[in-house]
Amino acid sequence: MTRLRLALAQYPIERLRSLDDFEVKIDDIIRAAKEDGAQMLVLPEYAAMELAAAFTDAGDAVSERDAIVIRAESIVEIMRQAATRHRIWLLGSSVPMLRDGLVRNRAPFISADGVVQFQEKRVMTRFENEEWHVAAGDEPQVFETPWGRIGISICYDVEFPMLARAQVEAGAWLILSPSCTDTLWGFNRVHLSARARAIENQCFVAITPTVGVAPWSATLDVNRGYAGVFGPCDRGFPDDGVIAKGQLDEPGLVFAELDPGLIENIRENGGVRNHRDWPPAPNGCRVVTFE
């Protein structure tokens, strides 16, 4: 199978003045990734929310959400055109978008020739559920690419093993997990969950965050984390399973060369076979007393 050179954007949150500013920024990031040989680029969850301050000065998260919802299709189109222009596969910033009358967190996955598909976030955080009123998305999916099947688990979703497992059972060898976290607690929940998913499923998992402080944004005021790519802790991989990682809270690109053949091999010939040995769900849990 063909190797994939993957780029992950530690995306700096900046005060943009217009959609044109966003277009220039996305173009610059993609150009930098392409110059280093990237075939696919991943942007974080909700990165495009930085645009909200250009359209509302209400200073509350719901107004910012609404400002992006009404411009969501234009934002996706900017990313689609940029991916097509540079001939790169792009997991674009997820955006709050309307579907069937409800706001959902939707990440556009864009092929190099401009075809757009979406993965929706399945499980909402408290902020999304209680303040933004974002609805749960559709079931997990896998996407056919030139490098094989790839899954997407947006931020909080990667903390739930059954979602990644469904993608792996459908053929995924790589799971992309774009994130947006405002504390190191939140970042580490995503980071450590991603590493666990890589071990459980003998696959690669890639995370990438928004970074920076933005006191002018009610939604993206603080952004913590670093990008990373994780694999199984087994033969042919680093002892700790860390394939690549960036610098905490620093803007930039992180690159990794990923070989789906390594995943195929380790699932068959590894020291353990987590992928094969995944147990069925238990039929309840008996309570044992000492009486």
Over 90: is that where the pLDDT of 59 sits?
no
Nearest partner of 74 among 55, 57, 59, 89, judged by Cα: 55
Query: What per-residue confidence (pLDDT) applies to 27?
Result: 98
The CB density around residue 278, as the number of other CB atoms within 10 Å, is 14
Distance CA 208, CA 220 (A): 15
CA angle (173 as vertex; 123, 188 as ends), nearest 5: 45
Is the pLDDT reported for residue 58 higher than 80? no
Mean pLDDT of 58-64: 90
* Average pLDDT of every residue of the chain: 97
Nearest to 8 by CA among 45, 40, 46, 49: 40
- Give the CATH fold of the 4-277 domain: Nitrilase/N-carbamoyl-D-aminoacid amidohydrolase (3.60.110)
Q: Would you state the structure tokens that stand for residue 155, as one six-digit string?
A: 């931020």
Assess whether pLDDT exceeds 90 at residue 199: yes
Mean pLDDT in residue range 98-105:
97
Where residue 281 falls among pLDDT bands split at 50, 70, 90?
confident
More confident residue, 51 or 59: 51
Q: Provide mean pLDDT across the span 85-91.
A: 99
pLDDT at 286 over 80: yes
Q: How many CB atoms lie within 10 A of CB 213?
A: 14
Instruction: Map out the domains of the chain as residue ranges.
Output: 4-277
What is the DSSP track for 212-277? Answer: EE-TT-SSSSEE----EEE--SSTTS-TT-EEEE--TT--EEEEEEE-HHHHHHHHHHSSS-HHHH
* pLDDT (mean) for 41-68: 95
pLDDT in tens, 124-136: 999 999 999 999 9
- Judged against a pLDDT cut of 80, whether residue 1 lies above it is answered with no
Could you tell me whether strands 204-213 and 4-12 are parallel, antiparallel, or unpaired per DSSP bridges? parallel
What's the whole-number mean pLDDT along residues 41-55? 97
Note the residue count of the chain: 291
Q: Is the pLDDT of residue 243 over 90?
A: yes
pLDDT band at 67 (very low <50, low <70, confident <90, very high): very high
Answer with the residue of higher pLDDT: 107 or 59: 107
